[in-house]
């Protein structure tokens, strides 16, 4: 099939767009309305610039956001940040005061809980923030829940609410900064609500914080003095193990191997976790055999650990910080200090016992035979020799202990490692070498937080111990993608704080963003340490960064029950481990940024405040991209879906609630105007022709995608309907992937044999406007006509121009005004509870119709990860026997290779040339109609 781009008649210069189109001429005339022009930037060929229109309407004091009538739907969605409820706000105390306290009686605050691990060198802090879900009185939602048989009963004996788990660290020597941080966030005052999960006050009425590590004893008085809190001391080993078990069970991509500079995530089977050896490298080293939850034994340890490295480094090199010492090692050459096998054997390998010439025979051994003073050695070389000596020694002792107890897996944690590639390579090498490849060294992304997490877990009824992987969503730490120098990177609560952090970050930016060049591999594999591949010229800017995101706890998330093999399911189609892919998609997202910022700022009325937020958003997003470009696996396995979600999350973080709101509204209006005529035309067709026209319609209308650069350029060339007509005219079969005949046979049968209709179809809808109204709704109507219940599955939160579950009922109500099938089904599905329906026959009888329902999918991204969907969707899916996934995000970028237990139809127009070539060996604007019967 020729692409739209190549077609001289339909050329995207828009000069000659064919008039003849599948739907009637009056409809076309109707759509000549100026209001239906697509672009907002004033480059519209036909019709008035929408920006002008906005200005006119805005002169009455209304911004663009006011053009959209408020939806009548009152579903409460906890967005990325809780919104302030200012009702009944009152000033407390003296009105004359400069910053009087304002009481917000109806605001459900973020409630924080905190635990600490105060070590010899670092303080690790884990805290949880949450806000209570407000009860919803939404009748539609209730009806849908009833229909789907979702009970409101609590699964747990105590409530666990959604929230976020944050990870922060401070140097112990700067404990005052840590106290200031706790105090500024009021973290020590958490847990005072009725849902308290821990005994937050001691018998004498003081607030209590769980803490572990030696500092919990040493600094107890200071905490009491400064914050008025008591530290409730928890055993360090108990905490380490509880923290490690929680991470290994609950966090996807927590563990990874690191060999010769290559990081690879290991999927740990929860049921096959124990036993393992946990090696915690802090100032000293503990080796713990873990047999289960709370079942462990400290089997060994060594006093030669992180403290030794730092201490000796200070004495020998006068380094002021651990990172400085580590940074020196990056430029070191240990051959000037270590005695190598080759030094003893005249440059030869000692082959008989498998030692290469470059194997260290004796750490620091070369210095014996040289008559140099300490000043004669380079600090860089000393640092590297030290690092090797200590890492190698720890690797070897760990292996011997694993051997002692027959353990195959060794997990290394503790802040000595701090994500330093060379340290991990050295340890891995030692374990691999001594075990002859039998044992495997693994590392944990939250390596430094095991103790703090464990202390957190020790609160009674924290509710985290039985959380499942799918209930935790790891998100990029917002507002603080980097941590360096004096800038700490906790999640910043306050928007202003966040914006000024970004501004500060930009000033510091050049200092802390330099990527590290990777040297090529030089390891012999013969037991010698040559130059490991991950030793770059300089220390990564983020060597002390956390490399962990913020954990969002969403207890309502579930695994989509129709996945054929949930354990093998991988949502992303494109592997960003391929560097050229990564570069390409990073460029696409960067290029799209200025336009997105314009839209976002306009959606908030173009005020100075929104411009400042827009700027901060652009910086934050660019900084995240740069950070990920430097280390793609920093926050676990990175797929395109994560990047697209990151963009949306970042927008929300800077309080851009719905950047495309006016575009969506305009397209909805235009499409609703066309719908009645389209339905009449469809009804005049035979069943077979109609089914084909419907699928064509879905594919054609998927062209309305504001996330695709090519499509947005196209929108400059004509009105909504012109683009739609052009797209429909291009729908000749065969499509690039064309399983329509198989789908038709399942729907209509062949010959006289009429197949049994599907019982329930889940339609994963994509974009607002024509996509959902002229594409998916008519398809839903056809399924309803066949007697199939239809569940429209839409986003919980806005993403690009995707329609949301909150917006859909009003759209359906509008459509239902002109169609009895939709009206009856929507009534039966509880969608029309408070919509004013004015139909021709006025019939209220709904028992004859199967229901049309709407459920939210639990996400706010253009893609969907089916391991983590809303509980409503999971409930609706249980009885489904047909799934329709529509759009590039949901059917191509994600789920293209996913297999389901029930019949599945994947429909999308490919609106990106590179993806078309890669995925379907086709061209931009080619279509995919992939039908896969139940497996």
Ligand X SMILES: CC(C)(COP(=O)(O)O)[C@@H](O)C(=O)NCCC(=O)O
Binding site for Mn ion (CB under 5 A): 766-767, 802, 862, 887
The residue count for the chain: 935
Q: Which is nearer to ligand X, 245 or 767 (CB)?
A: 767
729 binds, among ligand X, Mn ion, none (CB under 5 to 8 A by kind): none
349 binds, among Mn ion, ligand X, none (CB under 5 to 8 A by kind): none
Between CA 544 and CA 552, with CA 548 as vertex, the angle to 5 degrees is 150
For CA atoms 193, 194, 199, 205, the dihedral sign is positive
412: exposed, middle or buried (Cβ count in 10 Å: 0-12, 13-18, 19+): buried
Q: Which is nearer to Mn ion, 330 or 767 (CB)?
A: 767
545 binds, among Mn ion, ligand X, none (CB under 5 to 8 A by kind): none
784 binds, among ligand X, Mn ion, none (CB under 5 to 8 A by kind): none
Token pair belonging to 728 = 């429909």
Q: Which is nearer to ligand X, 265 or 586 (CB)?
A: 586
Residue 892 C-beta: closest distance to ligand X, Å: 8
702 binds, among ligand X, Mn ion, none (CB under 5 to 8 A by kind): ligand X
312 binds, among Mn ion, ligand X, none (CB under 5 to 8 A by kind): none
- The distance from CA 67 to its chain's CA centroid, rounded to whole angstroms, is 31
Q: Which is nearer to ligand X, 220 or 588 (CB)?
A: 588
644 binds, among ligand X, Mn ion, none (CB under 5 to 8 A by kind): ligand X
Residue 889 C-beta: closest distance to Mn ion, Å: 5
Q: Which is nearer to Mn ion, 215 or 862 (CB)?
A: 862
In the 8-state DSSP scheme, what is residue 485? T
Q: Which is nearer to ligand X, 472 or 919 (CB)?
A: 919
Between CA 641 and CA 644, with CA 642 as vertex, the angle to 5 degrees is 65
In the 8-state DSSP scheme, what is residue 922? -
The CA distance from 28 to 674, in Å, is: 8
Rg (CA), the chain: 31
The CA distance from 412 to 418, in Å, is: 11
893 binds, among Mn ion, ligand X, none (CB under 5 to 8 A by kind): ligand X
Q: Which is nearer to Mn ion, 232 or 766 (CB)?
A: 766
Q: Which is nearer to Mn ion, 467 or 574 (CB)?
A: 574
647 binds, among ligand X, Mn ion, none (CB under 5 to 8 A by kind): none
Residue 796 C-beta: closest distance to ligand X, Å: 16
Residue 707 C-beta: closest distance to ligand X, Å: 3
Residue 19 C-beta: closest distance to Mn ion, Å: 29
Answer yes or no: are the C-beta atoms of 450 and 280 closer than 8 Å.
yes
Token pair belonging to 342 = 């080759």
Contacts of 636 (CB under 8 A, 6+ apart): 252, 253, 254, 265, 445, 474, 549
Residue 821 C-beta: closest distance to ligand X, Å: 27
Answer yes or no: are the C-beta atoms of 394 and 371 closer than 8 Å.
no
The CA distance from 875 to 620, in Å, is: 37
Token pair belonging to 329 = 């090692």
Contacts of 397 (CB under 8 A, 6+ apart): 285, 287, 300, 302
Residue 112 C-beta: closest distance to Mn ion, Å: 35
Pairing of strands 550-553, 737-738: unpaired
Q: Which is nearer to Mn ion, 380 or 648 (CB)?
A: 648
Measured from each CB, the residue nearest to ligand X is 707
Between CA 273 and CA 281, with CA 277 as vertex, the angle to 5 degrees is 125
Residue 647 C-beta: closest distance to Mn ion, Å: 13
The CA distance from 105 to 131, in Å, is: 14
Residue 316 C-beta: closest distance to Mn ion, Å: 58
Token pair belonging to 398 = 């760990």
Q: Which is nearer to Mn ion, 534 or 768 (CB)?
A: 768
463 binds, among Mn ion, ligand X, none (CB under 5 to 8 A by kind): none
Measuring CA to CA, which residue among 686, 716, 730, 778 is closest to residue 22? 730
140 binds, among Mn ion, ligand X, none (CB under 5 to 8 A by kind): none
Q: Which is nearer to Mn ion, 278 or 793 (CB)?
A: 793
Residue 643 C-beta: closest distance to ligand X, Å: 10
Residue 705 C-beta: closest distance to ligand X, Å: 4
Binding site for ligand X (CB under 6 A): 588, 644, 702, 705, 707-710, 766-767, 800, 862, 887-889, 893, 908, 911-912
Token pair belonging to 889 = 């995000």
């Amino acid at each position: 099939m020729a692409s739209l781009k190549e077609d001289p008649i339909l050329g995207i210069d828009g000069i000659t767009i064919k008039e003849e189109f599948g739907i009637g001429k009056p409809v076309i005339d109707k759509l000549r309305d100026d209001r239906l022009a697509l672009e907002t930037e004033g480059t519209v060929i036909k019709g008035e610039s929408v920006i002008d229109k906005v200005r006119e309407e805005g002169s009455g004091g209304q911004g663009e956001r006011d053009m959209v009538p408020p939806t009548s739907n009152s579903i409460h969605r906890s967005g990325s940040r809780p919104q302030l409820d200012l009702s009944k706000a009152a000033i407390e105390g003296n009105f004359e005061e400069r910053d009087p306290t304002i009481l917000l009686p109806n605001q459900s605050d973020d409630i924080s809980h905190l635990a600490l691990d105060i070590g010899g060198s670092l303080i690790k802090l884990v805290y949880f923030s949450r806000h209570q879900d407000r009860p919803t009185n939404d009748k539609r939602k209730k009806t849908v829940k009833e229909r789907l048989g979702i009970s409101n009963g609590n699964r747990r004996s105590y409530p666990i609410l959604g929230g976020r788990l944050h990870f922060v660290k401070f140097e112990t020597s700067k404990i005052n900064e840590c106290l200031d941080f706790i105090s500024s966030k009021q973290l020590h005052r958490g847990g005072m609500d009725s849902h308290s999960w821990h005994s937050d006050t001691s018998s004498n009425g003081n607030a209590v914080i769980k803490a572990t590590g030696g500092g919990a004893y040493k600094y107890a008085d200071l905490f009491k003095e400064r914050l008025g809190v008591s530290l409730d001391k928890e055993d360090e080993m108990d905490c380490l193990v509880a923290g490690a078990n929680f991470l290994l069970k609950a966090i996807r991509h927590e563990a990874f191997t690191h060999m010769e500079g290559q990081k690879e995530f290991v999927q740990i089977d929860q049921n096959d976790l124990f036993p393992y050896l946990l090696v915690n490298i802090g100032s000293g080293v503990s080796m713990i055999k873990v047999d289960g939850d709370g079942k462990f034994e400290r089997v060994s340890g060594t006093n030669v650990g992180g403290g030794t490295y730092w201490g000796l480094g200070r004495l020998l090199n006068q380094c002021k910080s651990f990172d400085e010492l580590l940074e020196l090692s990056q430029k070191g050459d240990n051959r000037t200090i270590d005695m190598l096998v080759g030094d003893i054997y005249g440059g030869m390998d000692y082959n008989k016992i498998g030692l290469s010439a470059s194997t260290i025979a004796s750490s620091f051994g070369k210095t014996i035979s040289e008559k140099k003073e300490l000043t004669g050695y380079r600090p860089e070389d000393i640092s590297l020799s030290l690092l090797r000596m200590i890492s190698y020694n720890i690797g070897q002792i760990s292996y011997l202990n694993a051997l002692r107890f027959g353990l195959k897996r060794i997990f290394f944690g503790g802040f000595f490692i701090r994500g330093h590639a060379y340290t991990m390579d050295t340890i891995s090498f030692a374990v691999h070498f001594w075990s002859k490849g039998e044992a495997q060294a693994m590392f944990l992304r939250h390596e430094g937080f095991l103790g703090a997490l464990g202390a957190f877990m020790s609160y009674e009824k924290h509710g985290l111990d039985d959380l499942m992987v799918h209930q935790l969503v790891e998100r990029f730490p917002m507002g603080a993608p980097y941590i360096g120098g004096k800038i700490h990177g906790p999640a910043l609560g306050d928007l202003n704080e966040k914006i000024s952090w970004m501004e500060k970050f930009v000033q510091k930016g050049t200092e802390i963003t330099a990527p590290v060049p990777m040297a090529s591999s030089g390891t012999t594999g013969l037991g010698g340490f040559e130059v490991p591949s991950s030793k770059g010229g300089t220390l990564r800017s983020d060597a002390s960064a956390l490399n962990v995101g913020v954990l969002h706890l969403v207890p309502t998330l579930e695994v989509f029950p129709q996945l054929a093999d949930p354990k093998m399911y991988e949502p992303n189609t494109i592997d960003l481990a391929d560097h050229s892919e990564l570069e390409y998609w990073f460029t696409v997202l960067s290029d799209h940024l200025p336009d997105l910022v314009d839209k976002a700022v306009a959606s908030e009325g173009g005020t100075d405040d929104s411009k400042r937020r827009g700027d901060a958003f652009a910086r934050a997003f660019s900084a995240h991209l740069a950070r990920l470009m430097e280390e793609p696996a920093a926050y676990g396995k990175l797929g395109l879906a994560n990047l697209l979600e990151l963009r949306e999350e970042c927008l929300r973080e800077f309080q851009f609630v719905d950047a495309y709101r006016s575009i969506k509204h305009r397209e909805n209006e235009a499409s609703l105007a066309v719908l009645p005529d389209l339905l009449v035309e469809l009804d005049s067709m035979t069943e077979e022709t109609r089914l084909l026209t419907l699928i064509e319609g879905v594919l054609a209308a998927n062209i309305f995608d504001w996330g695709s650069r090519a499509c947005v350029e196209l929108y400059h060339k004509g009105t909504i309907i012109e683009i739609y007509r052009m797209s429909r005219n291009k729908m000749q079969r065969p499509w690039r992937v064309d399983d329509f005949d198989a789908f038709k046979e399942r729907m209509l049968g062949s010959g006289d044999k009429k197949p049994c209709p599907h019982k329930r179809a889940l339609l994963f809808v994509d974009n607002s406007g024509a996509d959902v109204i002229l594409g998916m709704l008519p398809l839903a109507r056809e399924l309803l006509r066949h007697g199939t219940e239809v569940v429209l599955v839409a986003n919980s939160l806005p993403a690009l121009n995707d329609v949301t579950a909150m917006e859909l009922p009003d759209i359906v109500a509008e459509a239902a005004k002109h169609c009895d099938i939709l009206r009856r089904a929507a009534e039966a599905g509880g969608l029309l509870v408070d919509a004013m329906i004015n139909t021709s026959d006025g019939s209220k009888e709904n028992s004859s119709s199967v229901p049309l329902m709407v459920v939210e999918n639990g996400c706010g991204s253009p893609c969907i990860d089916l391991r983590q969907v809303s509980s409503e969707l999971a409930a609706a899916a249980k009885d489904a026997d047909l799934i329709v996934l529509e759009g590039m995000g949901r059917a191509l970028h994600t789920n293209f290779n996913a297999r389901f237990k029930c019949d599945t139809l994947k429909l999308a127009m490919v609106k990106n040339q590179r993806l078309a070539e890669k995925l379907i060996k086709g061209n931009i604007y080619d279509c995919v109609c992939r039908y896969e019967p139940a497996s």
